[in-house]
Chains A and B, each alone.
Chain A
Amino acid sequence: MIKLTRIKGWQFLVHMILAVVSFIFIFPFLYIIATAFKTEFDTFNNPALLSLNLTLENFHMIAASGVKLGAYYLNSVILTTVSTLVVVIVGAAGGYGFAKFKFKSRKPMLITMLLTMTFPLGVLLIPMYIMEFKLQIDDSLIGLILPNIAVNTPFAIFIMQAIFRTIPDELIDYAEIDGCTPFRTWLQIMIPVAKNGLLTAGILCFRSVWGEYTLARTLSSSARSIPLAVGLTFLKWERWHFGIMSAIILLAIIPPVIIFLIFRNYFQRGLAIGAVKG
């Protein structure tokens, strides 16, 4: 614990600052929740947060619009869960390899990964579509999962290798003395210690894939594989209807928020454990 100062007044000030900052960060959510339940009249004439007329009509209108939200939701869930699992596993392995081992092709490999992270995907859309079309995986979930894994793995590796670096090498030595194979060392020693790093990488990957729009828009064409991020934009013609837009946004962010709330506890606990070990 870094005590910048022990004066109680400072503590209070810090709390105040953080409280204000937190409020600013959460405000957009409050706005969306409030607006999603407003009537049209209120969205035009009463933009204040609190409204006396709460209604579910926005959600009714979405359901009636014929947009295949159910299918899109399912696609997003499958796409995101599978991609995230694979990315986290591969990322943890890759991060460990880069952090703790020195081998000849290390630098070029690292730079290649960095390069792919820097490249704007927009230009790759047509070549990717051509490639998938030839392999006949266009407009399919696997056709979306694979590119998403490719896009998010470098980032996960980057984060994991930073985390693994902060773990002292002695732990590896102890494991070796105990007779562990490198794989077991990784699985049973390193991973538990780096748990909050894994969770960070996982949550970030989840969020990146859940909201991924550019790739999905080109590579998917029907309810077979269109994820929520793309499907929701089909409702954008109601741009002036803030109520409907807010309801749509709300529907889209509920699953990630739930995931976040579930894992938040593990996450905070992980951070705390890290502090004690520190």
Chain B
Amino acid sequence: MKKIIPSLIVVLLTLIFLGTVSAGGQQVPATEGAEAQEPNLLRIRSVDWLTQKAFISEAADKFMSEHPGKKVTFESFEGRDVNKYIIQWSGGKSDMDLLVVENPEDTTAFIMKDMLFSFDELGFWESFPKDKLVESILAVGTIREQVFYLPIMGEIYWINTNKKLLQEAGVADKDGNIPHPKTWDELLNMAGKATVGKQAGMSVRLDAGSTENSFYSAVKGLRGSFFKEDGVTFVVDTPESREILTAWRKGVANGWITTATMTDRNAGRVAYTAGKLALLYESGSRWPEAAPFIGSANTGPLPYPGGLEGGSMLFVAGFAIPKESEAPNTAVQFIEEIYMTDLFQSKMLNVYGKMPSLKSAYAFASSPEWEQMLIATRKSVPAPQYREHHVFTAGLADNIQAYLLGKQDLDACLKAVQEKLDSIDKRIY
């Protein structure tokens, strides 16, 4: 008897809970933008690193000082947890009025479930002309002609250099001018010269999540596009791919390119900021970041082969406003008044090396070296947001890593990657 009662309770509770869950799982229609007086509170949630690099705290303070009576609060969250908000919003509630995320891919699920306002329907463009923003960056957040994801800043893959180390290696002249490498072999030789003992001269991001970025940015540089003619499917086996991978393998085999990034994506960045790595091929925002540590005269950008002609891969951080937000118009006001200003945008540029979405901000760049990166940014596009994108990213990284470590040959590697690409769900929305 005593054994049955606990079991009965279990079964009963489970049935009850399962019942409530499946009922709540249906979509609650998004509340119409009830235009009653919006509360005086703007709640922001931003990905942890964006809280710092987008100066959210300063933005909040500024807004509050210009609009006494309004309050702005903000909280950080871990990038990957974005999806739990689906549960909140389908339940008709929202913890936040404004979301700040690092990748438009994070909002795909929301857009598909129709949980975000588009900035068009909120009337954003009535007071702010679209052509004030860099076209390639704005395009990232535009779906079916509507902007759901308002870009704050962008990043591209580029090479960050330590000029002093390159001078010592005989690669840079005494003014710190470095020749732009035209081929990956050239770049490899530079890395070789900069390699000192066991300290590699160059780092390429080769971990599970970033290999795709490293690879396809390089491909785009040489080839002009990482898509086939259809404009949406990744290319795999091309002469450019082969040139790049062969060079990387040579670099790894000779110790000129470090493999530390395969397990620790930040290994290169750590070494670079410590002043020990000469060439860092990853996000182009690292060179201003490292300036306080290595000296701003010593850091600078360098295009990878074809970077200036073909462009790179674009990463855009942006704002999204959930339909469950209680203060969407305040959010719009906040964005327009604080973020779409030269002040904030140029600050993000000069301090953290993030490419502003506002064209006019570039006039305030602290260094003429930003020119080359802006040229490339205008030609850059983001990675496609296939439904099973992550599966491909992981598979690509696996095979390239195996090839670079000598565990498989180039043909097998490219073949496996192509198979992976063919097997995934490539639908976008």
Contacts and interface: CB of A to CB of B under 8 A. Distances in A.
Whether the complex brings A and B within 8 Å at their CB atoms is answered yes
Interface of A: 40, 44, 65-67, 103-105, 108-109, 126, 129-131, 133-134, 138-139, 217-218, 221-223, 226, 230, 233-237, 239-240
B270 A234 contact: no
28 contacts: A44-B275, A44-B276, A44-B293, A65-B52, A66-B52, A105-B2, A105-B3, A105-B6, A129-B84, A130-B24, A131-B21, A133-B88, A134-B21, A217-B81, A218-B81, A221-B45, A221-B95, A222-B95, A223-B75, A230-B78, A237-B48, A237-B49, A237-B52, A239-B266, A239-B269, A239-B270, A240-B269, A240-B273
B20 interface: yes
Nearest to B84: A129
A51 to B, nearest CB: 16
Contacts of B91: 133-134
A108 B45 CA distance: 45
A248 B411 CA distance: 47
Contact of B95 (A65, A126, A139, A235): A139
* Interface residue tally on B, bucketed by range: 20 to 34
Contacts of B53: 237
Interface of B: 2-3, 6, 17, 20-21, 24, 45, 48-49, 51-53, 57, 75-78, 81, 84, 87-88, 91, 95, 266, 269-270, 273-276, 293
B270 A240 contact: yes
Contacts of B49: 237
Contact of A234 (B3, B17, B48, B274): B48
B81 A134 contact: no
B282 to A, nearest CB: 13
Q: Among the interface residues B6, B21, B75, B88, which one has the most CB atoms of the partner chain A within 10 A?
A: B75
B21 A44 contact: no
A134 B24 contact: yes
A218 B84 contact: yes
B28 to A, nearest CB: 13
Contact of A222 (B2, B51, B75, B270): B75
Contact of B48 (A126, A134, A236, A239): A236
A13 B225 CA distance: 69
B95 A234 contact: no
Contacts of A66: 51-52, 57
Contacts of B76: 67, 234
A212 B49 CA distance: 21
A221 B99 CA distance: 13
Contacts of A105: 2-3, 6
Nearest to B17: A131
A107 B275 CA distance: 61
Contacts of A239: 266, 269-270
A222 B51 CA distance: 14
A104 B5 CA distance: 12
